[in-house]
Amino acid sequence: MKRLRDDQARMHLVMMLTLTFSTGIVDAVGYLGLDRVFTANMTGNVVILGMAIAQAGGLPILGPVVALATFLLGAAVGGRLLRGARVGWSGRSTVTFSSTGALLVGLGVASVLAPPEAGTPWGYSVTGLLGLAMGLQAASARRLAVADVTTIVVTSTIVGLASDSRLAGGDGARAPRRVLAVLAILAGAGVGALLLDVHIGVGMAVAGGLTMLVALAGHLLRARRAELAAAEAAAAAKEASVASTDTVTR
């Protein structure tokens, strides 16, 4: 069982890095394809909104507001659905991540059929639904509690990388995963920009597909853990029964 727990921890890390990669894709699509709007990185969104309110550089106001509001809604829905669920992967995690993936894939297909344009009702609708999906994903990822990998931001990860490094007098124990998290969102953003040259909907669909793969992997891992736990419980019950029989015989 200990080996399974170790394998599960590694799998959770891989899944979170995959989601971080997909987040980079989504943010690239939003920023480059939907009038400079972040739909996952709310820190960037708030900064853009602040500059827009100050009327700097012709930055958009409505798009960031829509993304921020729907992100909050998605995170609230995720928090509500996962309230009371065990820390780590649960059946509810499968539902929330699958929903996120399905929504992203659906948006990708819809965008291929009707490409969203910045400043149009459909463009704002896509922005809002992307924000909703990313908020739901962020709340679900938070429940997995994988240290240093949140899937949506890497600022705190970079701070941890530097402040815990050997240069700063630390042991640098978590440096590999922190570097991987930064590289994952960096690579995702690059891939998202390249996919945007193909079609704006392709990046959304790819991000959604990756999220659904994560949901499937988490579900299978949870099922395997349940099987092993049941087998251990049965073996323990059998041993207790044999011990009880031996005691009575004596």
* Range of lowest pLDDT (55-59, 139-143, 214-218): 55-59
| Confidence grade of residue 215 (pLDDT, cut at 50, 70, 90) | very high
Q: CA 57 to CA 224: how far, in whole Å?
A: 53
Options 2.60.40, 1.20.1250, 3.90.580, 1.20.58; which CATH number does 2-249 get? 1.20.1250
- Say what the pLDDT of residue 224 is: 77
Q: CA 136 to CA 215: how far, in whole Å?
A: 13
The amino acid at 30: G
CB 162 within 8 A of CB 168: yes
- Say what the pLDDT of residue 57 is: 80
The residues, ordered by sequence, that sit 6+ positions from 209 with a Cβ below 8 Å of its Cβ are 101, 105
- Say what the pLDDT of residue 21 is: 96
| Confidence grade of residue 167 (pLDDT, cut at 50, 70, 90) | confident
How much is the CA Rg of the chain, to the nearest whole Å? 22
Domain ranges of the chain: 2-249
Q: CA 61 to CA 45: how far, in whole Å?
A: 10
pTM of the predicted protein model: 0.89
Closest CA to 156 of 177, 170, 140: 177
Q: Which two tokens stand for residue 210?
A: 């990756």
pLDDT (tens digit per residue) in 2-40: 565 666 788 889 999 999 999 999 999 999 999 889 999
pLDDT (tens digit per residue) in 46-91: 999 999 999 888 889 999 999 999 999 999 999 999 998 887 888 8
Would the pLDDT of 133 be above 90? yes
101: left (phi over 0), alpha (psi -120 to 50) or beta: alpha
